[in-house]
């Protein structure tokens, strides 16, 4: 007699063949991606191929975060739309703003967080701290400026606008001393004022 719990405790047997390097991507995912992040990737692929690519399915894609500077716009999102895998998109303003750089013929370049401060200063890079009143809702903002006029804004945290369309009142924001950056900051449990209905909390 089969125990009622057997279906939950005796799934697919874990007995994968050795990887030879001759597998297709589909075979590799099907036969070697069983658990942890690989297992979740496999589940996502199955959802995509078995459900989302059915003929009468409408696929909506929601985007948050700056994906264009990561190269995901031209490498992934545009091909997905051109081949008909995505019907419509909801995006935050950051993606639209960054993507406009390409439409205007402007270049984007990779940076690195491992640059040495002393070496940067020797090469003429300066850090400018501007009054926090100029950037309400952004904590600890500074600009790195190079001799050619390029600028990178550095900041710890950017407040999100709430569902009522209003930012946090100034009295409820963190007190910022932009001239003295702390070694660490307490995480904020909420990125905007009001109830949270979906998405990360920041």
- For 74-118, how does the pLDDT look when each residue is reduced to its tens digit (9 = 90+)? 899 889 889 888 898 888 777 887 888 888 888 887 777 788 889
32 against 157, higher pLDDT? 32
Cβ-defined contacts of 141-145 (< 8 Å, 24+): 141/178, 142/178, 144/120
pLDDT of residue 18: 92
pLDDT of residue 171: 77
pLDDT of residue 192: 46
Could you give the C-alpha distances from 7 to 12, 30, 42, 46, 93, in angstroms and in order? 10, 20, 20, 20, 45
> Measured between alpha carbons, how far is 75 from 118 in angstroms, rounded to an integer?
35
27 confidence band (pLDDT: 50, 70, 90) = very high
pLDDT of residue 196: 43
pLDDT of residue 130: 80
Residues linked to residue 154 through DSSP beta bridges, in sequence order: 142
Average predicted confidence (pLDDT) for the chain:
80
pLDDT of residue 200: 40
> Measured between alpha carbons, how far is 35 from 20 in angstroms, rounded to an integer?
20
Q: What three-state secondary structure class fits 128?
A: strand
pLDDT of residue 164: 62
202 confidence band (pLDDT: 50, 70, 90) = very low
* C-beta separation of 139 from 185 below 8 A: yes
Q: What does the angle CA 112 – CA 113 – CA 119 come to, to the nearest 5 degrees?
A: 85
pLDDT digits (tens, 9 = 90+) for 161-195: 655 666 667 777 777 787 787 887 776 655 445 44
With a CB cutoff of 8 Å and minimum separation 6, the contacts of 160 are 191, 192, 202
Q: What is the pTM of this model?
A: 0.55
pLDDT of residue 19: 92
pLDDT of residue 153: 81
């Amino acid at each position: 007699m089969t125990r009622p719990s057997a279906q939950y405790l005796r799934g697919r047997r874990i007995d994968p063949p050795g990887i030879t390097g001759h597998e297709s991507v589909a075979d590799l995912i099907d036969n070697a991606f069983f658990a942890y992040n690989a297992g979740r990737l496999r589940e996502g692929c199955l959802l995509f191929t078995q459900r989302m690519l059915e003929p009468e399915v409408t696929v909506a894609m929601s985007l948050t975060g700056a994906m264009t500077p990561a190269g995901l716009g031209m490498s992934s999102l545009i091909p997905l739309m051109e081949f008909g895998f995505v019907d419509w998109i909801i995006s935050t303003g950051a993606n639209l703003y960054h993507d406009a750089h390409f439409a205007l013929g402007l270049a984007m370049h990779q940076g690195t967080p491992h640059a040495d401060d002393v070496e940067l200063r020797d090469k003429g890079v300066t850090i400018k701290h501007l009054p926090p009143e100029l950037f309400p809702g952004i904590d600890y903002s500074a600009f790195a400026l190079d001799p050619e006029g390029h600028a990178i804004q550095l900041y710890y945290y950017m407040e999100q606008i709430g569902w009522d369309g209003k930012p946090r009142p100034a009295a409820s924001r963190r007190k910022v001393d932009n001239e003295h950056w702390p070694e660490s900051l307490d995480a904020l449990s909420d990125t905007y004022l009001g109830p949270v209905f979906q998405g990360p909390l920041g």
